Structure 1
């Protein structure tokens, strides 16, 4: 083994904009996000999106649900969460400010990144609610500035969207039917 240090390229948003395919960029490290997730993952996202969008419309919240939008965090960090809720003005292109809610649904290929790097990014960017949903274990972990917890499945999970003066309630059981 060579005593010379290994060169790891440090990519930027400019590099990212030229790439084909599905990628994320975390602290300058390129991460392929393909192939697409499996059925259980997509069912949870679809059901969650429906629940949230229905309540946003019912309560006339100035928010939108996004399931395939890049969040540009910095010059060397771009992620594409499974789901985001954005209030107070909607992006025309990629999101360039912090969303109000970020959700990641765990899969074998994303588990480590969702539980570590993305959790840290959400905390560092003051995301009010970061939900980590595990369809295999049928659990939800809620991460906030105050810490994290694992609410049970027997009661709605209330999420105040403070910037929009709205609240949504997620029925966890309906996610895993």
Structure 2
């Protein structure tokens, strides 16, 4: 059975989609969108708007300046969750506790913070599905940003669920955990 991906059709591998099967596709085969895998289901989202990418760049700079030694801020990495080989998400940014690591993906064991920037097409996905999957993977912090409202909430993991820890005020987010950084969300 072929799965439609944009204008392309990609044959489902025998046994269904896995992280290994998805990452084994030739480069550019699924170009034109963000391709993620949740419990064997391939999810394709359009590439983000330019304003979104500019915000990713600003966040990368501010978080990198605050992260310090032993941490690395990376945009758009393949993040493999759990040992099931059937979950791969691509957050807007991650803060990794394994700087300099090489390869095609990180696992939740190498990530202390994930950042998602909402867009109209990903809002529910980011607020509900991804938040739940990151919590289940026991990633310590989840930063959710709503650029339309110029607001952000840092969630901290507590008893296997995320609880609001820090919220932006007046379009500015001041972090004290997992490190100190200030991010101006106003364009």
TM (normalized to structure 1)?
A: 0.79
Q: Which runs of 4+ in 1 moved over 4 A?
A: none
**Consecutive unaligned residues in structure 2, runs of 5 or more:** 1-14
- Conserved 8 A contact 1:123-1:144: no
Q: CA RMSD in A?
A: 2.2
Q: Which has the higher contact order (CA 8 A, sep 6+)?
A: 1
Return the alpha-carbon distance in structure 2 between the equivalents of residues 88 and 159 of structure 1.
Answer: 21
How do 1:95-114 residues align onto structure 2 when only pairs under 5 Å count? 95-98=106-109, 99-114=111-126
- The CA deviation string for residues 133-159 of structure 1, in whole angstroms up to 9 with x for no partner, is 011111112221231256132565224
How do 1:1-177 residues align onto structure 2 when only pairs under 5 Å count? 10-19=16-25, 20-21=29-30, 22-34=34-46, 36-56=47-67, 60-74=68-82, 75-93=85-103, 94-98=105-109, 99-146=111-158, 147-148=163-164, 151-154=167-170, 156-161=173-178, 167-171=179-183, 174-177=184-187
Q: When the two structures are aligned, how many residues end up with a matched partner?
A: 159
Return the alpha-carbon distance in structure 2 between the equivalents of residues 144 and 64 of structure 1.
Answer: 19
**Consecutive unaligned residues in structure 1, runs of 5 or more:** 1-8, 162-166
TM (normalized to structure 2)?
A: 0.75
